[in-house]
């Protein structure tokens, strides 16, 4: 391979995203690219490196040995680039204490996570620290830590990787919902069966596609979303049913805009986790923020007993 260029860095980031998403389908959503475009970029990278990086086709997505080594080397490279930036900020006197957080959308009402309380406690004890807080798609969170762009990320459905530490936080309950304009809204739960899904449209979370469909007997999805806000809108439209966190649906249920469908049978539990790299900068700040999270969650739990 010739000298590394900006183009090669971009191709490596695209390749890493495909690996993090375990294939092209989820990577299309994370990168907002068509599968044909992703395939072209991957083929270009393989040509530049001189090796096939993955098997793709009917048998699914699988890295070759060369692909596994390339992926690990790319993660090291991304961390080195971030480390270079941090070093230059120190050398040129522009460094400031900073904690970069990432979280998925619509967690402000997730009381069990106690995130506002945790941020308040951390900020009170570290008033000099600049908080860089970003709402991200689930598929982007873990990759942002691996690449050194976020210090701590919080979300569901992380696939454990060897280079990161994980801390379990709280469990979010999801129920199947339909909107006021949906044909099921006025029907009794006892009258609705799995067979009825052949006649309605189901919206699923792209990052937990199979969890949603398998919970309902492997029914076919008619829409996918990358955020719970998008799911909320589809359900409110009356055109789709879908799983939605209870804390998010509660105001709509109280206002008669949607309802849970057979909540005792059709429910999901999503475990929220914090992920962070143990061998990069801001170690003390990351550790103390995790402690604030755990303390806030414990305090909130004791108050609700």
For the stretch 116-164, pLDDT in tens is 999 999 999 998 888 999 998 887 888 888 888 899 999 987 777 667 8
- Among 244, 246, 245, 197, which residue's Cα sits nearest to residue 222? 197
Domain identity same for 80 and 214: no
Question: Of 88, 121, 145, at which residue does a domain stop?
Answer: 88
Domain identity same for 165 and 217: yes
For the stretch 88-104, pLDDT in tens is 766 665 556 789 999 99
Question: Is the pTM for the entire model greater than 0.75?
Answer: no
Domain identity same for 75 and 209: no
For the stretch 249-277, pLDDT in tens is 999 999 999 999 999 999 999 899 999 98
Please state, for a pLDDT cut of 70, what percent of the chain lies above it. 90
For residue 87, what are the β-bridge partners?
none
Q: Residue 192 gets which letter from DSSP?
A: -
Domain identity same for 145 and 271: yes
Domain identity same for 45 and 171: no
CA distances from 161 to 20, 42, 280 (A): 10, 22, 15
What's the domain count of the chain?
2
Q: Identify the CATH number of the domain in which residue 157 sits.
A: 3.40.190.290
Domain identity same for 69 and 218: no
For the stretch 208-217, pLDDT in tens is 656 777 777 7
Question: Of 88, 109, 132, at which residue does a domain stop?
Answer: 88
* Parent domain of 76: 6-88
Q: Identify the CATH number of the domain in which residue 75 sits.
A: 1.10.10.10
């Amino acid at each position: 391979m010739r000298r590394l260029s900006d183009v090669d860095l971009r191709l490596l980031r695209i390749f890493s995203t495909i690996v993090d998403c375990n294939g092209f389908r989820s990577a299309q959503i994370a990168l907002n690219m068509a599968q044909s475009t992703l395939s072209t970029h991957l083929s270009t990278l393989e040509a530049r490196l001189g090796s096939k990086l993955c098997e793709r086709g009917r048998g699914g997505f699988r890295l070759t040995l060369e692909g596994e080594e390339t992926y690990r080397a790319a993660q090291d490279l991304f961390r080195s680039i971030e480390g270079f930036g941090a070093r230059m900020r120190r050398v040129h006197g522009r460094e400031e204490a900073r904690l970069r957080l990432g979280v998925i959308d619509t967690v402000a009402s997730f009381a069990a996570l106690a995130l506002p309380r945790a941020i308040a406690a951390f900020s009170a004890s570290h008033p000099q620290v600049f908080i860089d807080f970003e709402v991200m798609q689930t598929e982007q969170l873990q990759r942002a830590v691996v690449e050194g762009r976020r210090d701590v990320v919080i979300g569901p459905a992380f696939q454990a990787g060897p280079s990161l530490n994980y801390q379990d936080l709280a469990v979010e309950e999801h129920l199947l919902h339909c909107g006021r304009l949906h044909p099921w809204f006025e029907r009794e739960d006892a009258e609705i069966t799995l067979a009825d899904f052949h006649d309605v449209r189901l919206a699923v979370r792209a990052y937990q596609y199979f969890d949603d469909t398998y919970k309902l007997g492997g029914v076919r999805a008619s829409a996918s979303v990358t955020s719970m806000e998008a799911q909320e809108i589809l359900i409110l439209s009356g055109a789709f049913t879908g799983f939605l966190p209870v804390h998010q649906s509660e105001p709509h249920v109280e206002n008669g805009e949607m309802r849970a469908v057979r909540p005792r049978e059709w429910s999901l539990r999503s475990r929220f986790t914090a992920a962070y790299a143990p061998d990069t900068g801001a170690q003390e700040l990351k550790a103390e923020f995790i402690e604030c999270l755990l303390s806030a969650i414990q305090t909130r739990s004791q108050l609700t007993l």
